[in-house]
Amino acid sequence: MRTNKILLTIFTVSFIFLHGCSTTSSVISGNVGASFSKAYKAISSLISGYEDHPITRELVDQIPYASLRMKIGKGPAGLLILESKKGDEYTWVSADNVYIITKEGRIIRALGLTNNLTDVYSSEPSFKEILQTSDSLTGEKFRYVSLDNPEAFNIRVKVSYKKIGPEDVSILDRTRQLILIEEKIENAYIKWRHINKYWVDQETGFVMQSFQVIAPNLPPILIQVTKKPSQ
C-alpha cells in the first residue's frame, strides 16, 4: 500500500511537470521565492535524518521515465524523475518540489535546498575526456559558483581531478564496475575544501553515482542513477 501511494505521488508530480515545462523553467531560472518556503520544510527533514523511503527496482521499473536516487547528508533517500533534457543538461524533480539540474554528472543548479546553487560557470573537461588522460591529476581548472543563502556571486573555486580506478558499485539490486574519479574543489578565502567523487561508466563517460558538495554550508549529496535517460 505504501509503495503504491509513493508511486501515485511520483506519477502525479511527473504528469504536472512534464506538461508544464515552461512554468518549471521560469521557476528554476529566477523565481526562487515562489516555492522556497514549502521546499525548505521538505528539505530540512532530509538534512536532519530519518529512515529511507522504500525505493526498489520494481518501483523504478514501473515508472516510464529516467530516475535517480538522491540522499542529502544523513537524510532519507528520495526518488527524482527526469523532467526535461536540453542538450547535455538534465532537470530532475522530486515529489517535494526539489529540483536539480545536472550536466555531465555534475550538479550545476539546485532549487529547494537551504542554500540554492543558482549558477555555475566553468570550462572543465567531461568525464569521458578525463578517462582518456593519465592516472595523475589532469591540471587545475576553475569553477565560478553562485549561491543564494547567503547570497554569493561567482565564487572562484579551484578544481583538479584524479582518476582512482575501477570499483564495484551497487545501485538498488544491480552491481557494475565503474571508474572512480575524484574532484578536489577548494577556495582558501572562505576555507572551502572538499573532494567530490564520481563513479563513471568506462565506455560512455556517463556518471552513474556521485558524492558532491555544492555549497560550504550544505551536507554532501549522494546521487545514484536508477534508470538512465535515453541518449
Tell me how far apart the alpha carbons of residues 16 and 164 are, in angstroms, rounded to a whole number: 41
Query: What is the value of pTM for the model shown?
Result: 0.77
Q: What is the DSSP letter of 136?
A: S
Residue 90: strand, helix, or coil: strand
Tell me how far apart the alpha carbons of residues 184 and 70 are, in angstroms, rounded to a whole number: 21
CA 231 to chain centroid, in Å, comes to 18
Burial of 52 (0-12, 13-18, 19+ CB in 10 A): exposed
pLDDT truncated to tens, each residue of the chain (231 aa)?
444 433 333 333 333 333 333 333 333 333 223 333 343 344 444 444 445 567 889 889 988 999 999 999 988 888 999 999 999 999 999 888 889 999 999 999 999 998 999 999 998 889 999 998 876 555 678 999 999 998 999 999 999 999 999 999 999 989 999 999 999 999 999 999 999 999 999 999 999 999 999 999 899 999 999 999 987
For cell 524523475, name the residue.
81
Tell me how far apart the alpha carbons of residues 214 and 101 are, in angstroms, rounded to a whole number: 12
Residue 69, pLDDT score = 94
Residue 185, pLDDT score = 94
- 3-state class percentages of the chain: helix first, strand second, coil last, to nearest 5: 25, 45, 30
Radius of gyration of the chain (CA): 17
